[in-house]
Amino acid sequence: MITLRLDDGLTTETTTTADLLIIGKGRDPVALHDADGSVAAVLEALRRPTTWQQLRAHGPFAAGRIDALIRRLLTAGVLILGCADENGDLATARIRSRLAELRPDAEPADDQPVQLSPCALLRRLDDRAVVESAHDGTVVELHRPELAAVVAGLCAPIDAAAVARLAPGGSQLLRLLAAVGLVTAPGPAAGRPTHAVWTHTRSRNGLVELRTPAPGTLDEPPAGPAADTDIALPVPDQAALRRTDPPLAEVMETRRSVRRFGDKPLAVAQLGELLHRVARIQQRLPADPADERSYSYTLRPAPSAGAMHELDYYLTVRACHGLAPGVYRYLPDRHALAVVNRDTVPLVRLVNAAYLAINRVSVPQVLISLAARFDRPTRKYGDLAYSLTLRNAGVALQSVYLCATAMGLGACAVGSGDAADFAEASGLDPHEVSAVAEIVIGSLPGQDV
């Protein structure tokens, strides 16, 4: 039997703007119209576990309106679906999307074959086992560890009657999973891969209830200490660039992905100019409550969501006049390069992966890897952080494209990169900092004389 009940810690009150307001700590209030007190009566009934069918049969208004109210309360997160036996709760489900597929009457027949949805993920949430939907974010908490065997057993097609034999309470859990769309008729997984669905639903508001940001400071980290091995880069003359650069309209029209480079290597002055145009820190600004900016931040030529600027520029240099081959990190505060690795093996691996990705047309002279510090945007944006990092990377790639075009250089974004090669070359933990985008640059053919 699937039951409904109000979540713990909720109170109701009347206001001048809503007949009824449901309030709970750490959640948005839910406003409901209740001219005659009938909604309040339903809410009072929901303070004890009850079934959807009982509310339809004995509620104060028609079944259609009851269904609309229950769906509203479920998707607002104030109602919990659950199943239990004589010993207490077996599992509870929390709905996290107003687009969730709810089937309260779902009860598979004993001879009906069923299978776990390909969008269901069994994982740990804090100290609990949960089944979570990549599709709509519904979370089913398993209150007894042995019920994980039911989830595992549902990975292969199985008759509904046989689910009861997987673990005590198996039949009740099956009905709950079916009610929230996590159990379906058997069949091959169709459509997008589960990880792609998961990423997309957490890249926009509205598809699922997004989790709150992680705690921690949002202040822009200070510049690290200079090292004796840091390499200062030439600073271009900005006033001269404003006079001599081609118009933006011309740059936009002539920009192309260049996969064939010239034999003449880039000059370190060209590399320095490109980085100065795209990635340097122009200004550091303190927190300003008057500007609704509660943290210090930096201004740079290319924008970044929330001024997080979590992308660091790493350069794998194969051929650059005035700069030894190696892997370097750009220091935007000082417009300099820090030496990361001068070993040949990681350099060759990174360059070769880029060479293969651009269809083996020409060996790149310089590879720029955009490495994201994942923790920084997560502290501000929570679940949205990774999608914003990818958008920031797109902005950075286009900035490199346009500046390279204006400078008469070739550039080509790399469709795939090897995160393991980057981790080994940089010495960074890929779960904390990892390359999320790459672009190669070099001289154009015909510039060799």
pLDDT of residue 214: 66
CB-CB neighbours of 347 under 10 Å: 20
Residue 427 maps to which CATH number? 3.40.109.10
Ranges 55-69, 202-216, 331-345: which has the least confidence? 202-216
**Is residue 47 domain-shared with residue 190, that is, in the same domain?**
yes
**Mean pLDDT, residues 317-343 taken together:** 96
pLDDT tens sequence across 28-54: 788 888 877 888 888 888 888 898 888
Domain that holds residue 133: 2-201
In a domain, 449, yes or no: no
pLDDT tens sequence across 97-124: 888 888 877 889 999 999 999 999 999 9
**Mean pLDDT, residues 303-317 taken together:** 96
In a domain, 209, yes or no: no
**Is residue 142 domain-shared with residue 278, that is, in the same domain?**
no
Indicate if the pLDDT at residue 70 is higher than 70. Answer: yes
pLDDT of residue 183: 94
**Is residue 236 domain-shared with residue 131, that is, in the same domain?**
no
pLDDT of residue 340: 96
Q: What is the 3-state secondary structure (H, E, C) of 230-292?
A: CEECCCCCHHHHHHHCCCHHHHHHHCCCCCCCCCCCEEHHHHHHHHHHHCCCCEEECCEHHHC
Mean pLDDT taken over the chain: 91
pLDDT of residue 147: 96
**Mean pLDDT, residues 229-237 taken together:** 95
How large a percentage of the chain has pLDDT more than 90? 63
pLDDT tens sequence across 170-212: 999 999 999 999 999 998 877 788 888 888 888 888 788 777 7
d(CA 90, CA 142): 6
**Mean pLDDT, residues 343-363 taken together:** 93
**Is residue 184 domain-shared with residue 237, that is, in the same domain?**
no
Q: What are the strands, taking DSSP E only, across 51-210?
A: 79-85, 88-94, 113-116, 120-125, 128-133, 139-142, 158-159, 183-184
Residue 68 maps to which CATH number? 3.90.930.70
Environment class of residue 109 by beta-carbon count within 10 Å: exposed (0-12), middle (13-18) or buried (19+)?
exposed
Domain boundary among 201, 222, 242: 201
**Is residue 185 domain-shared with residue 237, that is, in the same domain?**
no
In a domain, 225, yes or no: no
**Is residue 366 domain-shared with residue 434, that is, in the same domain?**
yes
pLDDT of residue 281: 96
Ranges 88-92, 162-166, 195-199: which has the least confidence? 195-199
In a domain, 121, yes or no: yes
Identify which has the larger pLDDT, 19 or 433.
Answer: 433
**Is residue 129 domain-shared with residue 260, that is, in the same domain?**
no
Indicate if the pLDDT at residue 20 is higher than 90. Answer: no
Q: How many domains does the chain have?
A: 2
**Is residue 292 domain-shared with residue 152, that is, in the same domain?**
no
**Mean pLDDT, residues 313-317 taken together:** 98
pLDDT of residue 199: 87
In a domain, 215, yes or no: no
Q: Which helix (H) or strand (E) holds 66?
A: helix 63-75
Is residue 279 very low, low, confident or very high in pLDDT (cuts 50, 70, 90)? Answer: very high
Indicate if the pLDDT at residue 237 is higher than 60. Answer: yes
d(CA 435, CA 441): 17
C-alpha dihedral over 294, 298, 301, 306, to 10 degrees? Answer: -30
pLDDT of residue 290: 78
**Mean pLDDT, residues 399-424 taken together:** 95
**Is residue 308 domain-shared with residue 356, that is, in the same domain?**
yes
Query: Which conformational region is residue 264 in: left (phi greater than 0), alpha (psi within -120 to 50 degrees), or beta?
Result: beta
Is residue 61 very low, low, confident or very high in pLDDT (cuts 50, 70, 90)? Answer: confident
Indicate if the pLDDT at residue 326 is higher than 90. Answer: yes
Confirm if 270 and 407 have CB atoms less than 8 A apart: yes
**Mean pLDDT, residues 62-79 taken together:** 85
pLDDT of residue 105: 77
In a domain, 178, yes or no: yes
Confirm if 397 and 437 have CB atoms less than 8 A apart: yes
**Is residue 163 domain-shared with residue 266, that is, in the same domain?**
no
pLDDT of residue 447: 66
In a domain, 167, yes or no: yes
**Is residue 13 domain-shared with residue 84, that is, in the same domain?**
yes
**Is residue 14 domain-shared with residue 126, that is, in the same domain?**
yes
Confirm if 364 and 376 have CB atoms less than 8 A apart: no
In a domain, 438, yes or no: yes
